[in-house]
């Protein structure tokens, strides 16, 4: 299993490298999964290559999500999980973004299914996707402030929650 | 407020707000429909009404605590959610699960698939005006829930599948209970088919409705019965087997019509295949053997060991206070839920709490294709199309 997946990884990495020598910034192999880190400016072109190249055929974008590594910079990692139905293969494309400039090209022109997935990332992480046809919040109300899945957003939110000291004061008053 | 841009001019069309409280949306979903007479010109789904921040909450819990949250996403498939999360954490840990536990998992999630399809069939039929099917479906679903209660003590939010195996050994008498269900169920599926498959009203409401081409379905990342009804035999149990599915003998039903009727036939056929898998799993589950992996410091020790061994007591204390810390890395696992590809992405930074947990929920992504299915169709077919992609709003919004 591990062997075949690393062979598959070679196919992806070789094809991308032969297309553009700078297309693969880093390759991470962990638990028989391959992550191909792509430079930000090449994401959409690399995605198009992954979908249309006869050797790759990653026709299904199954998932897109983000990881916030705050306070490490570049803090955001946007992951695209691709599946090739004809080749029975999976790969993860990753793009790293800084906190100052969390902008990346949208892959909606490549896989229309990325639409809501990127809206979700925009909503919860505040990453903007260039060329996205409909970049609005999707899960949270439109007047929500902040992006709750960022690590600097508290788990309990910003509501006015009385401190435990206040609660004790109140209960002794009753 | 979400506003709809008019596609054919304001004078001709009207905007209708369907939901968020509407019986056929199976939860809280709002769809803005722009209508020209009875024809849908444009549809814009508006969601998030059930968003509870499960992914954020997972980041504030230890790896084992987060299991209980996964139950509550897709409440018709809690065992499947447990399974995908546990598989992802096990992959992160590099943990091997005993075969017996894997077979128990397979049996449970296949029973869950049948119960989920039963709820789908019952509610979909009620949406289209066939009231009685609902009662029949829920009668059989009850039997499955009784089996779950027997195994885990809970009917719905079982949290039965745990990291490294399952929570408990199968209870006494489980074979008879499951066998009884297996004996009863095939004739019951026939019964539903006699009510619907040849029913002219049912055919009229579903045949040729909600067509999507296989190319569009793949481009919009659709998976599950909806994709298989379009003729693409993509099923994770076959393509990327997990939990020993490669040892089981079953078919993946596909059709090519890609309409609501084809999706109905696929799900009925899947129920029969699942019964087949449950039967095979039952034969494979031995009476004796471990149901949890042997991994000190990750899997809680047995109660008896805690009373005789010092290390076991220390591990027990550490697991339930601090948790365990997988090495830094990322893992993505996908399983075939009743609705499609259910994925779980877990990232670890080496601490006892996950850095990020993300669920690739099939309902969310399949719902994206809804406008494609209903634009140009009649308003009465909107109900059929929502039903046929089988969404669970708890999972859409998480």
Q: Per-residue pLDDT tens for A97-120?
A: 998 889 999 999 999 999 999 999
CA distance to partner chain A, nearest, from residue B56 (Å): 6
Across residues B57-64, what is the average pLDDT?
A: 90
pLDDT value of position B108 = 92
DSSP code, position B211: -
């009685």: which residue's tokens?
Answer: B132
Please give the residue that has the higher pLDDT: either B4 or B269. Answer: B269
Which ipTM was obtained for this model? 0.86
Largest pairwise CA distance in chain A: 75
The per-residue pLDDT for A9 is 61
What is the reported pLDDT for A115?
92
Is the minimum CB–CB distance between B92 and chain A shorter than 8 Å? yes
**How do residues B227-243 score in pLDDT, each as one tens digit?**
999 999 999 999 999 98
Confidence (pLDDT) at A10: 80
For chain B, give the percent of residues with pLDDT over 90: 46
Residue A174: per-residue pLDDT: 54
Residue B247, pLDDT > 50, answer yes
A contact test, residue of B221, B241, B359, B396 with most A CBs within 10 A: B221
* Mean pLDDT, all residues of chain B: 88
Judging contacts by C-beta atoms under 8 Å, the chain A residues touching residue B232 are 85
Q: Cα–Cα distances in Å, from B390 out to B183, B229, B266, B336?
A: 27, 13, 13, 14
- The Cα B122–Cα B130 span in angstroms is 9
- Tell whether the model's pLDDT for residue B398 goes beyond 90: no
Q: Which pLDDT tens digit goes with each residue over B266-303?
A: 999 999 999 999 999 999 998 888 888 888 888 888 88
Question: According to the model, what pLDDT value does residue B121 have?
Answer: 92
- Beta strand segments in A17-108, E: 26-30, 33-37, 60-68, 76-84, 89-97, 103-105
pLDDT of residue B335: 93
CA distance B222 to B339: 10
Cis peptide bond prior to A33, omega within 30° of 0: no
Percentage of residues in chain A having pLDDT higher than 70: 86
Verify whether the Cβ–Cβ distance B332 to A63 is below 8 Å: yes
The DSSP result for B311-355, as a single string, is HHHHHHHHHHHT---PPSEEEEEEEEETTEEEEEEEEE-SSSS-S
Give tens-digit pLDDT for B327-372: 999 999 999 999 999 999 999 998 999 999 999 999 999 999 999 8
Q: How far apart, in whole angstroms, are the C-alpha atoms of residue A37 and residue A79?
A: 9
> What number of residues does chain B have?
398
Mean pLDDT in residue range A142-159: 84
CB count within 10 Å of CB A142 equals 10
Q: What per-residue confidence (pLDDT) applies to A7?
A: 57
Give the per-residue pLDDT at B11: 55
Alpha carbon distance B329, B345 (integer Å)? 11
Which residue, chain included where needed, has tokens 């206040």? A166
> Quick one: pLDDT at residue A3?
43
| Cβ neighbours of A118 in B, within 8 Å | none
Q: Are residues A60 and B218, on separate chains, in Cβ contact within 8 Å?
A: yes
């Amino acid at each position: 299993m591990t062997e075949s997946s690393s062979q598959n990884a070679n196919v992806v990495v070789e094809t991308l490298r032969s297309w553009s020598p700078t297309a693969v910034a880093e390759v991470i192999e962990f638990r028989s999964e391959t992550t191909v880190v792509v430079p930000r400016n090449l994401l959409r072109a690399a995605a198009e290559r992954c979908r249309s190249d006869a050797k790759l055929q990653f026709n299904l974008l199954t998932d897109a999500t983000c990881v916030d590594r705050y306070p490490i910079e570049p803090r955001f990692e946007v992951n695209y999980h691709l599946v090739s139905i004809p080749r029975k293969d999976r790969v993860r494309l990753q793009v790293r973004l800084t906190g100052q400039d969390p902008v990346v090209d949208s892959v909606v022109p490549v896989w229309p299914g990325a639409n809501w997935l990127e809206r979700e990332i925009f909503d919860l992480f505040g990453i903007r996707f260039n060329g996205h046809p409909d970049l609005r919040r999707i899960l949270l109300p439109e007047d929500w402030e902040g992006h709750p899945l960022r690590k600097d957003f508290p788990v309990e939110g910003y509501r006015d929650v009385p401190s435990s000291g206040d609660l004790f004061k109140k209960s002794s008053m009753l | 407020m979400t506003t709809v841009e008019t596609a054919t001019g304001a004078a001709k069309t009207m905007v209708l707000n369907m939901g968020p409280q509407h019986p056929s949306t199976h939860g809280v979903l709002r769809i803005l429909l722009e209508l020209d007479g009875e024809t849908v010109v444009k549809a814009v789904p508006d969601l998030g009404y059930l968003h509870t921040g499960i992914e954020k909450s997972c980041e504030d819990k230890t790896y084992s605590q987060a299991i209980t949250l996964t139950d509550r996403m897709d409440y018709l498939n809690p065992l499947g959610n447990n399974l995908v999360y546990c598989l992802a954490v096990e992959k992160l840990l590099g943990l091997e699960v005993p075969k017996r536990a894997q077979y128990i998992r397979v049996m449970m999630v296949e029973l869950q698939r049948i119960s989920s399809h039963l709820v789908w069939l019952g509610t979909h039929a009620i949406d289209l005006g066939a009231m009685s099917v609902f009662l029949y479906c829920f009668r059989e679903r009850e039997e499955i829930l009784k089996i779950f209660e027997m195994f885990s003590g809970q009917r719905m939010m079982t949290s039965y599948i745990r990291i490294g195996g399952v929570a408990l050994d199968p209870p006494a008498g489980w074979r008879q209970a499951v066998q009884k269900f297996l004996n009863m169920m095939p004739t019951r599926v026939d019964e539903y088919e006699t009510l619907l498959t040849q029913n002219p009203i049912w055919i009229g409401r579903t045949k040729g409705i909600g067509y999507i081409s296989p190319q569009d379905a793949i481009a919009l990342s659709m998976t599950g019965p909806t994709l298989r009804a379009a003729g693409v035999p993509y099923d994770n149990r076959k393509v990327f087997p997990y939990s020993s599915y490669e040892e089981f003998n079953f078919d993946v039903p596909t059709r090519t019509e890609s309409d609501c009727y084809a999706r109905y036939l696929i799900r009925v056929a899947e129920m029969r295949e699942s019964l087949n898998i449950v039967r095979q799993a039952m034969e494979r589950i031995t009476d004796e053997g471990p149901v949890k992996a042997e991994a000190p410091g990750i899997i809680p020790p047995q109660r008896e060991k805690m009373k005789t061994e010092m290390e076991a007591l220390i591990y027990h204390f550490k697991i339930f206070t601090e948790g365990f810390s997988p090495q830094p890395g990322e893992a993505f696992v996908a399983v075939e839920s009743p609705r499609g590809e259910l994925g779980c992405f877990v990232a670890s930074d080496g601490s006892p709490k996950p850095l990020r947990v993300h669920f690739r929920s099939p309902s969310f992504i399949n719902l994206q294709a809804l406008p494609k299915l209903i634009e140009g169709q009649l308003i009465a077919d909107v109900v059929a199309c929502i039903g046929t992609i089988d969404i669970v709003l708890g999972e859409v919004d998480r």
